[in-house]
Copies of this chain bind each other. A is one copy, B any other.
Amino acid sequence: MHVFYTPDITSNHYTLNEEESRHCSKVLRLTSGDIIHLIDGKGGLYEAEITGMNKKNVQLTVINKQTEFGKRNHFLHIAIAPTKNIDRLEWFLEKATEIGIDEITPIICDRSERKIVKEERLEKVITSAVKQSLTAYHPKLNTATSFAEFMKQNVSGEKFIAHCIEGDKPFINHLTQANQSYLILIGPEGDFTQTEVDIALQNGYKAVTLGNTRLRTETAALAACFEANYINR
């Protein structure tokens, strides 16, 4: 099953861009009459036939369309401090896309060793996972923002901050229920500072634990992603 990401599809006729056309003809060796699948990232899953092709463009005709394919019953937004080793953040994006996530925001925290992220690269990782896992809804990746700026944003739904500072913290599933909109903050290597935690609490975030074991940043973020999806089975 060959899947292409076509966010700009608007009718039953579509032409793959030059790069994907080359991939389609040269790498996959597909030809007129072959069937491929398209994902528009907004819930649309299309079955399309190759009706014409040359080296630089492949023309498609949609023969079947499903809307709201794999529509999710909740909204999950995870704000995560980019890992020092960017591979670990990319890994999280791939896995979270497979399991189910709607929005991701890289947040730069006091203890963040990495202050800059290349969104284009991360976007590619997400799109590749979208195609591989046949996720018709493309998760939204926001540009990186400072923790302070992020706190000023007006977010609806339930807000949680997962940190490792000593103290009694409930699990997320003890504080919420299914079919909600969730925002979960995940700190950098070295955790959030007490000040950041206090600011979050003042802004209506609830402190939560993800378990008793020491989790790396990207593992904690994925555990939070698993948990939100688990609550919504």
Contact = CB atoms under 8 A, between A and B. Distances in A.
Interface of A: 70, 91, 95, 98-100, 132-135, 171, 211-216, 219, 222-223, 226-227, 229-230, 233
A133 B213 contact: yes
Nearest to A226: B226
Contacts of A215: 98-99, 133
A145 B136 CA distance: 37
Given A98-B216, A133-B214, 16 more contacts: A70-B212, A95-B219, A98-B214, A98-B219, A99-B211, A99-B215, A99-B219, A100-B213, A132-B214, A133-B216, A134-B214, A211-B229, A211-B233, A222-B222, A223-B226, A226-B226
Nearest to A225: B226
13 contacts: A98-B216, A99-B213, A99-B219, A99-B223, A100-B213, A133-B214, A134-B214, A171-B233, A211-B229, A211-B233, A222-B222, A223-B226, A227-B230
Contacts of A99: 211, 213, 215, 219, 223
A100 B98 CA distance: 21
Q: How many copies are assembled?
A: 2
Contacts of A229: 211
Contacts of A214: 98, 132-134
Nearest to A216: B98
A95 B211 CA distance: 14
A162 to B, nearest CB: 14
Given A222-B222, A223-B226, A226-B223, A213 B98 contact: yes
A187 to B, nearest CB: 16
Contacts of A135: 213
A134 B164 CA distance: 14
Which 10 pairs between the two chains have the least Cβ-Cβ distance? A226-B226, A133-B214, A98-B219, A134-B214, A98-B215, A95-B219, A133-B213, A98-B213, A100-B213, A230-B230
